[in-house]
Structure 1
Amino acid sequence: MKVLVVGGGGREHVICWKLKQDPRVTDLYCAPGNGGIASIATCVDIKATDLDSMVEYAKKEQFDLVFVAPDDPLALGMVDRMEEAGLRAFGPKANAAIIEGSKAFSKQLMKKYSIPTAKYEIFEDEQKALDYLETQPMPIVIKCDGLALGKGVIIAQNLDEAKQAVKDMMEDKKFGNAGSTIVIEECMTGPELTVLAFSDGNTCIPMVSSRDHKRAYDHDEGLNTGGMGAVTPGADMTDELKARIQNEIITPTVEALKKEGRPFKGVIYFGLMLTPEGPKVVEYNARFGDPEAQAVLPLLENSLLDIVDACIDGTLDQVEFKWKNKCSCVVVMASGGYPQSYAKGYEITGIDTCGKIVFQAGTALKDGKLVTSGGRVLCVYDEADTLDEAIDGAYEGVAKISFKDMHFRHDIGRTLG
């Protein structure tokens, strides 16, 4: 089979790595890819959001499968376009990917179908949002409605911070048009948990749970980032809790989308909070999380291609899932200054000799050398019988890798609260 993976980060590296293990995948391509992906797939210099060029290229090359991995091209309708061109594509169509593309839509969907989530209000007028904040307890959560690279969520500790967040989003357009509409919601309390799940539009099967660490610095301090690391399992869940998540959140979400004429085929990311009242939805994503995918997919013993086929064909209920009985940890090594301004082009050393699996995100090949090319640069992975062993192993790998101004958190997996 000839397969094209759309995207160029750490998530796409682990997807390519997993697909490469299937003997049916004879030709693997990735657009645009990165310096690490280039070692296992042919990289093609097309931006993930350039739908016209991507569809034209896919038609020309006649791929047997196009795996659309990132949020932006999904929200823009790349899967729709591929299917219209007669190509087989994995991922939700645009009308289903809206559960990530619009937080206002997803909140209204949850309200309509009684899916547990935080209380909220939606605002398109800045002054009305500011007036509303005056009546609310702090802390409070302010979210851009649209896609903002995982950074359009502010947890304001006091009224001044909350008002500044509204101004940044709506007046100063810090996140572009993503902040033209905002969602203000109560700040839920409890441990966070990520549950990724495969869906064929009817059946939705969860993967092993994970926990992402969003804040830039140790002790969950600093700005929100795309993710500084992840571990599995994300929590010590009882059978009762697993059943509640499936019956109160996962299944009702897929059924709600189907009832709305938006059947979801692909991967749904359930960002959850385990509150004193039970599990509630923090957010949906319409694809694999990053870096959660890097922590979860290496534990999957099934062929990823088999599962992708089942999602597309509506036969997911016939798949028997098999997972390694292991814990895992991924530590993200980022450029100094991320998620704000940072320099690029620094040589990276130590990957080949660190003794761990390293999924590359913001890397490029320049004059035969691997250099930094983004905010999140590397994802160092390890797995073990216990979470502590997996964490220690990942950090052993981190210690052997080097590039100028590198930054990483030292407490991934240690602050599961």
Structure 2
Amino acid sequence: MDVLIIGSGGREYSIGLALSKDENVEKIYFAPGNGATDALGENLAISDFNALADFVEKNGIELTIVGPEAPLVEGIVDVFKERNLTIFGPTAKAAQLEGSKIFMKNFLARHGVPTAKYIETNSLQEAYDFINTMTAPIVVKADGLCGGKGVIIAQSQDEAKQAAGEMLSGNSFGDAGTSIVVEEFLDGYELSVFAICDGKDYVVLPAAQDHKRLLNNDQGPNTGGMGAYAPTPLVNDDIYAKLDERVIKPTLKGMQEEGMPFTGVLFIGVMVVNGDPIILEYNVRFGDPECEELMPLLKSPASELFYKAATGDLANAKIEFHDKYAVGVVMASKDYPYKNSEPAEIIIDDIYHEEINENAHISFAGVSRGEDGKLYATGGRVLVCVGIGDSIKEAQQRAYMLVGQVHYAGKQCRTDIAYQAL
């Protein structure tokens, strides 16, 4: 089959890399892709949803996979489904689980899914009154999409009130923040759990752990993610069972009952508090950089996972994972996450070390191809070095050995990815 992947980041590159090794897949297209995806397939300069559907129809593309959240929330799946085209991802209605934090929190409350105590409001006075009843830290979230950055963890009531005021005035996140959620801070450890869903059935992928802060030991500002590893030993069979019964099943049942069956990736942001999973948030696509670690752990063909989910046939899929670990280290540009950096040529050493050649790879993200044919770092998060191993330690060592082979001006990365597990 031929496949179209919507998006341009490391997540989409990783999905493309998995599909490029799949004997069921003949050709891969990316819209728009990045400067390195042209090595895996063909990049398309098409962004209009109807024009993309035209291209898919004309070229007989059998499966479209949507990577980022924005086109899902904007309704790309609805456009394709109206034309009977097979597409992996939720409808616009179902994508509200990520598109609106207020919708998501109210949905959790309606269906008895455990989550933090909260209010949703567009009234500053109401926010202040609720904040006055709380002890710090206090979490303040913008309702809409903010590229993973619309969450403030305030260390005092005053700081929470300031954050609420700046969001509601439109100063912080524009229209995305004109309604907000204020909620209690949960003290535990955080996990990323991904369920591939076809509306009724689902497959849970190995749980991952992301590293959001810029600097070692989880210091510095929040980012889109500086690295991740999977599977995490912080999840046991008991937690998986609780997630199944208390979270995934009631969510899929609730989405069906409300007339928006969920197809695609249900990304569950979990805080484990005293052994119980409490839901922080839902997203409706793979996390980035978690996707970069999960794809190489997939043993069965990637096309089967995506196609059977998109066609409501997961019950007949045999999805298997390698009994291995993956660690991914994000290499970012000099000024990330504060501002854009100057383009910098990327030089990758020839790798003679067999262990690295066979057990590590790069997933490219914020890169573009220059007129000279060279690859340049042009984005905030430039690439992810992924190592695979029989233990987390071995996977981590291989990832960092690969990091040492990649050079560009101003490169920065954390040196402690997976430290919680080690």
Same fold (TM over 0.5): yes
CA contact (8 A) 1:46 1:54 kept: yes
Residue 392 of structure 1 pairs with residue 390 of structure 2 = no
CA contact (8 A) 1:116 1:248 kept: yes
Per-residue deviation at 1:92?
0.8
Work out the CA distance in 1 between the residues paired with 2:240 and 2:410: 41
Change (3 A) 1:107 1:416: farther
Q: Cα deviations across residues 88-137 of structure 1 (Å, max 9, x unaligned)?
A: 21111111111011111111111111101111110112343234323311
Q: Which amino acid counterpart does residue 259 of structure 1 have in structure 2?
A: E
Residue 21 of structure 1 pairs with residue 26 of structure 2 = no
Work out the CA distance in 2 between the residues paired with 1:88 and 1:115: 31
Identity among equivalent positions (%) equals: 39
| Uncovered stretches (5+) of structure 1, i.e. residues with no partner | none
Match of 1:366 among 349, 366, 370: 370
Q: How does 1:47-86 map to 2 (within 5 A)?
A: 47=47, 50-86=48-84
Per-residue deviation at 1:233?
1.6
Tell me what 2:243 maps to: 245
Q: How does 1:199-348 map to 2 (within 5 A)?
A: 199-276=197-274, 278-348=276-346
Work out the CA distance in 2 between the residues paired with 1:124 and 1:352: 55
Change (3 A) 1:130 1:56: farther
Q: How does 1:146-185 map to 2 (within 5 A)?
A: 146-185=144-183
Q: What's the TM-score, normalizing by structure 1?
A: 0.95
Q: Cα deviations across residues 144-188 of structure 1 (Å, max 9, x unaligned)?
A: 111111111111112233223223322243222111111111100
Work out the CA distance in 1 between the residues paired with 2:290 and 2:268: 11
Work out the CA distance in 2 between the residues paired with 1:53 and 1:161: 46
Residue 409 of structure 1 pairs with residue 396 of structure 2 = no
Per-residue deviation at 1:413?
0.6
Larger deviation: 111-120 or 226-235? 226-235
CA contact (8 A) 2:231 2:325 kept: yes
Work out the CA distance in 2 between the residues paired with 1:214 and 1:187: 17
Q: Which amino acid counterpart does residue 401 of structure 2 have in structure 1?
A: E
Q: Which amino acid counterpart does residue 395 of structure 1 have in structure 2?
A: Y
CA contact (8 A) 1:273 1:282 kept: yes
Change (3 A) 1:168 1:350: farther
Residue 135 of structure 1 pairs with residue 133 of structure 2 = yes
CA contact (8 A) 1:194 1:234 kept: no
Change (3 A) 1:255 1:174: same
Change (3 A) 1:69 1:351: farther
Per-residue deviation at 1:319?
1.8
Per-residue deviation at 1:351?
6.2
Work out the CA distance in 2 between the residues paired with 1:30 and 1:40: 9
Tell me what 1:379 maps to: 384
SS at 2:30's partner residue?
Answer: strand
CA contact (8 A) 1:210 1:235 kept: no
SS at 1:94's partner residue?
Answer: coil
Tell me what 2:7 maps to: 7
Q: Cα deviations across residues 236-279 of structure 1 (Å, max 9, x unaligned)?
A: 33222211111111111111111111101111101101101611
Tell me what 1:40 maps to: 40
Work out the CA distance in 1 between the residues paired with 2:233 and 2:146: 27
Work out the CA distance in 2 between the residues paired with 1:159 and 1:235: 35
Q: Which amino acid counterpart does residue 121 of structure 1 have in structure 2?
A: I
Larger deviation: 399-408 or 100-109? 399-408
SS at 2:12's partner residue?
Answer: helix
Q: Which amino acid counterpart does residue 42 of structure 1 have in structure 2?
A: E
Q: Which amino acid counterpart does residue 229 of structure 1 have in structure 2?
A: G
SS at 1:105's partner residue?
Answer: helix
SS at 2:329's partner residue?
Answer: strand
Work out the CA distance in 2 between the residues paired with 1:342 and 1:113: 42
SS at 2:344's partner residue?
Answer: coil
CA contact (8 A) 2:266 2:283 kept: yes
Work out the CA distance in 2 between the residues paired with 1:125 and 1:402: 49
Work out the CA distance in 2 between the residues paired with 1:14 and 1:416: 24
Tell me what 1:100 maps to: 98
SS at 1:244's partner residue?
Answer: helix
SS at 1:95's partner residue?
Answer: coil
Change (3 A) 1:399 1:323: same
SS at 2:3's partner residue?
Answer: strand
Larger deviation: 353-362 or 240-249? 353-362
Work out the CA distance in 1 between the residues paired with 2:346 and 2:404: 13
Work out the CA distance in 2 between the residues paired with 1:218 and 1:159: 28
Q: Cα deviations across residues 315-339 of structure 1 (Å, max 9, x unaligned)?
A: 2122222111111100000112222
Change (3 A) 1:351 1:183: farther
Per-residue deviation at 1:60?
4.0
Q: Which amino acid counterpart does residue 190 of structure 2 have in structure 1?
A: E
Per-residue deviation at 1:309?
2.1
Q: Which amino acid counterpart does residue 357 of structure 1 have in structure 2?
A: H
Larger deviation: 109-118 or 60-69? 60-69
Per-residue deviation at 1:344?
3.5
SS at 1:195's partner residue?
Answer: strand
Per-residue deviation at 1:297?
1.0
CA contact (8 A) 1:344 1:374 kept: no
Change (3 A) 1:255 1:135: same
SS at 2:279's partner residue?
Answer: strand
CA contact (8 A) 1:193 1:235 kept: no
Aligned residues: 415
Q: Which amino acid counterpart does residue 370 of structure 1 have in structure 2?
A: L
CA contact (8 A) 2:170 2:178 kept: no
SS at 1:150's partner residue?
Answer: coil
